Structure 1
Amino acid sequence: MISRASLPSLEPFLPFFLAGEWVEAGGRAIRDVIDPATEQVITTVADATPADVDHAVAAALEAHRSRVWSGMDPLERTRIMNRVAELIERDLEELAILETRDQGKPIERSRADTQSAANTFRHFAGATTRLGGTVVPIDGGSHHAYTVKEPVGPVAAILPWNFPVMTAAYKLGPALAAGCPVIVKPAEDTPLTALRLAALMAEAGIPTGVVSVITGDHVAGATLSTHPDIAKVTFTGSTEVGAHILHASVPGFKRVTLELGGKSPNIIFADADLDLATVTAMRATFGHSGQMCTAGSRILVQRSVLGEMTERLAEAAAKVPVGDGLAGGISVGPMVSEEQRQRVLGYIESGKSQGAQLVTGGGISGPGYYLEPTLFTGVTNDMVIAREEIFGPVAGIIPFDDEAEALRIANDTTFGLAAGVWTTDLARAHRMAQGISAGTVWVNTYNIFHPALSFGGVRDSGLGRDLGEAGLDGFLETKSIVMAV
């Protein structure tokens, strides 16, 4: 357990890391940073102005044109990125505590997320020397044709509030490996670990202008994503905001990677290991207080075990530990804000009004933005709680009879980010994995991520991929060069 009484008070954070320099708040608007477990102000940051955005983009553009980063010896870039990973690990506990105070998640999860950030930098540090092109034989030898891969240019990385430090690394790691300068805009509710990460990158030796971090609300994000000198926007967040970013990218034909919402089915067949399926469903649904784009909030259960699984899931949900993430041993911390809690409470009322039966949960407590893990049964796939992304600790049990019906329900959604399948039948597992329309399908497990494994969705869940070779390629352009011999 981490005692709050022993935690140091946080001075107001310097609001921006611009072109290698920390900038004072000056006359800018000040924003409180709230600890969602206590509802207390823990520090303040400042909102970026359009001039601040211009400054950050101009520095990134100069870094791109001068090739201060992309033109560096690849092995030196590898060394610096490995040093970032080392510094994250050096300060892992400090970063994890900061993440929990800022976001509310359990400290164990914050530690894992911070380690994931270090792993991501280390993985992509090894990519700098494998960005080679190809020699292409196009005729009988009259021409020498080859391709090279070049960085797309200045990148705007706009982060969500549910996984601040981890998604920062998901975007910075491959972008920097590709040679791109990056301007990071963390979510207005959770800016602190991105600012701390900026200091570590500077300490590691990333050159001036290559990385900037600016804070602020949606106005700063919109100003950055629409800036004419930004070549690519990589965004993780809601489908609604993603659509705005995609629309804004059209005039300049900006490249975009959009990892958006989800309404993932977690499909449990009668032959599954029901003990493991139950335990994992708790993590898949209620982890991070359900504030995950991959949350398996549609729990599809084969009708022959519906009664048994309803009892198992209800009993497990009622026992999920809820509380202050710094206490240790907590599975569900507070929601990120009161606004988010009220939004989720509205979905709970919608479920009740449409005829779903509340099995457990639905209550709130405080101080802190707490909401009990909530489970509905009697859910049909046309209900609002089965159609829309709730982004809170709320799940519904939907029955099905056979594979065909399970696939029909699973794919009856505008989203397509992830899915889970639970069965001991290997052939069925392959059939379901092939039949489900989603970017990731987990079989007899859930929420497994790795820097080498690409992640993203289809339809309303986004465009492009984070991580893996596909994520790296998203920050590169291929140039063909033809020489007469």
Structure 2
Amino acid sequence: MTTALRRLRNYIDGEFRDAADGRTTEVVNPATGEAYATAPLSGAADVDAAMAAAEAAFPAWRDLIPAERQKVLLKVADRFEERAEELIAAESENCGKPIGLVRSEEIPPMVDQIRFFAGAARMLEGRSAGEYMDGFTSIIRREPVGVCAQVAPWNYPMMMAVWKFAPALAAGNTVVIKPSDTTPASTVLIADIIGSVLDELGHSRGVFNVICGDRETGRLMVEHKVPAMASITGSVRAGMQVAESASKDLKRVHLELGGKAPVVVFEDTDIAKAVEDISVAGYFNAGQDCTAATRVLVHESIHDEFVAALAKAASETKTGAVDDEDVLYGPLNNANQLKQVKGFIERLPAHAKIEAGGEQVGEKGYFFAPTVVSGLKQDDEIVQHEVFGPVITVQPFSDEKQAVQWANDVEYALASSVWTKDHARAMRMSRSLDFGCVWINTHIPLVAEMPHGGFKKSGYGKDLSSYGFDDYTRIKHVMTSLDG
């Protein structure tokens, strides 16, 4: 007997709808490898409808005083708390994530981030008015950019949706957001939450729209004439394609792309504490995090001791079922990602050594063992390219100069960390590391008040913080004559 698949639908102008042409795609639970739902495979007609709804809703939403937009977002945050168990269940099924970790590590920061941007809505700052030419006064207006086309990734589909819609709505923009085709469930649920709040407070539900689909759907969104801005969190390849598509009509683009975070461990580090923190930061969410601590550079004097301790930590790290409270991470998100991670291991050069893990685990689903690889050279594929899996590489360095050189010698520049008791050295390293974030004696904590975003092929624009809020605004100069 076959279990009927749940039907997910687009959310356009306050209504849940199938794709106009009826096309669907199956959604698979990565913990089981089995389909549990279908989602629309949206095409041009669906994109047109969503953009029209957002465009129609924009003037009234833009013209609200900030306090009214704040009320909406604060109520959304409250509703996230009230419906937390529904969100947790949806995200766990979406991604195979451990239920307890979604509850403790994702719901609280998401609620906090929504409330942060609710406050930011009332802090639209500009330079003070002044006279810069005799007889004239200049003022600065900070305004929303318009309709925002947003594409969220599959590694944190729920949280990344929050990072996108919260600043956009707070600034007065309207939104059309597309979740990944492998993880649409939680974003569709978010649409139900936001739509109900907009309705209760008397605002157009066209302010927030969700369309499901694949890369072609995303391309149609970015190339559509209506959006003033395109925002994507995804791969470098996807970001380049979005930038190219958006350039055809000069849309503003916000890109948060890949990472290859260096973790620089000096000889004065407390090895046991560093290994404990780095293993969690490397394996959390199955290493499917652009900031994951997966590229360790350790001083040669403590290299062997560090590798042995890290391999032991890997062997004690558990992956498995969503309801197992001892599990640190769940499966890789999809079959293609499992194939990619396996490929990196299969292509390791002869001089590399697998110290722990290195294989798929479990009889079903896309689980991969916590892995440590040593003996690598700087130009090896696994050092230079993002694995996006539970794989930590380790290289020995001889001195601070070499550590900086190797740390910066990748195409990505999102996040990094330095581990040392020497304050002056930590300050030198934070200056020299060419990454958007440098953590010192820690790795991966994020707060709503501080920006997240990188350089080079990690993209441009910031998420979180007032800087992320500013990205969703435009600046207008107004000049008036004092002659009346």
> What range describes the TM-score normalised by the shorter chain of this pair?
over 0.9
Secondary structure of the 1:479 match is strand
Check whether the contact 1:97–1:326 (CA below 8 A) recurs between aligned residues.
no
Which residue of structure 2 lines up, in the alignment, with residue 153 of structure 1?
Answer: 146
- 1:309 aligned to 2:301? no
Gaps of 5+ in 1: 1-8
- Tell me, in whole angstroms, the C-alpha distance in 2 between the residues paired with 1:386 and 1:132: 42
| C-alpha distance in 1 between matches for 2:75 and 2:51 | 25
| 1:83 and 2:75 correspond | yes
* 1:244 equivalent in structure 2: 241
Residue 355 of structure 1 deviates from its aligned partner by 2.1
1:171 alignment partner in structure 2:
164
Deviations 1:87-108 (A, max 9, x none): 0011112211211111112223
Could you tell me whether the CA contact under 8 Å between 2:257 and 2:459 is conserved in 1?
yes
1:5 maps to what in 2?
none
* TM-fit CA distance, 1:329: 2.1
Q: For 1:155-212, what per-residue CA distance to the aligned partner results, in whole angstroms no more than 9, with x for missing partners?
A: 0110000001100000111101110001010000000110000111012125221110
User: 2:91·2:185 contact (CA, 8 Å) conserved in 1?
Assistant: yes
CA distance in 1, matches of 2:278, 2:65: 47
1:289 counterpart = 2:289: no
Q: What is the correspondence of 1:313-324 to structure 2 with a 5 Å cutoff?
A: 313-324=310-321
Amino acid in the other structure paired with 1:357: K
2:418 to 409, 418, 421: 421
Matches within 5 A, 1:450-461: 450-461=447-458
Query: What residue is the counterpart of 1:18 in the other structure?
Result: 12
Matched, 1:96 2:92: no
The DSSP-based 3-state class of the residue aligned with 2:413 is coil
CA–CA distance in structure 2, aligned partners of residues 68 and 74 of structure 1? 12
| Cα separation, 1, equivalents of 2:128 and 2:419 | 46
Give the letter for the 1:207 counterpart. S
Q: Any idea what the Cα deviations from partners look like across 1:94-132, whole Å, max 9, x if unmatched?
A: 211211111112223322212222111111001122114
CA distance in 2, matches of 1:176, 1:377: 46
Q: Which secondary structure state, in structure 2, belongs to the residue aligned with residue 478 of structure 1?
A: strand
Does the 8 Å CA contact 1:324/1:333 hold for their aligned counterparts?
A: yes
Do the aligned partners of residues 439 and 354 (structure 1) sit closer, same or farther apart at CA in structure 2, a change above 3 Å counting? farther
Query: How big is the shift at 1:141?
Result: 4.8
Q: Secondary structure at the match of 2:205?
A: coil
Q: Choose the corresponding residue for 1:372, options 369, 372, 375.
A: 369
User: Which residue of structure 2 lines up, in the alignment, with residue 186 of structure 1?
Assistant: 179
**SS of the counterpart of 1:119?**
helix
Mapped to 1, the partners of 2:235 and 2:18 lie a distance apart of 31
Q: Please name the residue that 2:268 is paired with.
A: 271
Q: Distance in 2 between matches of 1:276 and 1:10?
A: 48
Bigger shift: residues 124-133 or 159-168? 124-133
Aligned residues: 474
The aligned residue for residue 50 of structure 2 is: 56
Q: Percent identical across equivalent pairs?
A: 35
Structure 1 residues 212 and 136: CA distance shift in structure 2, 3 A: same
Deviation at 1:426, TM superposition (A): 0.8
Moved more, 397-406 or 327-336: 327-336
Q: How far has the Cα of 1:13 moved from its partner? A: 3.2
Matched, 1:235 2:235: no
Residue aligning to 1:3: none
Query: Which residue of 412, 422, 426 maps to 2:409?
Result: 412
What's the counterpart of residue 461 of structure 2?
Answer: 464
**Residue aligned with 1:189, SS:** coil
Shift of 1:26: 6.4
**Is 1:197 aligned to 2:190, yes or no?**
yes
Quote how far apart the aligned CAs of 1:272 are. Answer: 1.1
Instruction: Using the TM superposition, name which of 106-115 and 379-388 deviates more.
Output: 106-115
Is residue 37 from structure 1 mapped to residue 31 from structure 2 by the alignment? Answer: yes
What is the RMSD of the two structures over their aligned residues, measured on CA atoms?
Answer: 1.4
When normalised by structure 1's length, the TM-score is 0.95
Q: CA, structure 1 residues 242+369, in 2 after alignment: closer, same or farther (shift >3 Å)?
A: same
C-alpha distance in 1 between matches for 2:174 and 2:436: 28
The C-alpha deviation readout for 1:227-251, integer Å capped at 9, x for no partner, is 1211101110100110011111112
CA offset at residue 11 of structure 1?
6.0
d(CA) in 2 for partners of 1:204 and 1:13?
Answer: 23
Shift of 1:24: 3.4
Whichever residue aligns with residue 402 of structure 2, its letter is: E
1:327, distance to aligned residue in structure 2 (A): 2.0
- Residue 332 of structure 1 deviates from its aligned partner by 2.3
Q: Is the 8 A contact 2:8 2:37 kept in 1?
A: no
CA displacement 1:266-303 (0-9 Å, x = unmatched): 11111112122101111221111111111221111101
> Any conservation in 2 of the 1:134–1:148 contact (CA below 8 Å)?
no
Match of residue 119, structure 2, among 109, 114, 126 = 126
Q: For 1:477 and 1:83, locate their aligned partners in 2 and report how far apart those are by CA, in whole Å.
A: 26
Deviation at 1:10, TM superposition (A): 8.5
Structure 2: distance between partners of 1:255 and 1:408: 33
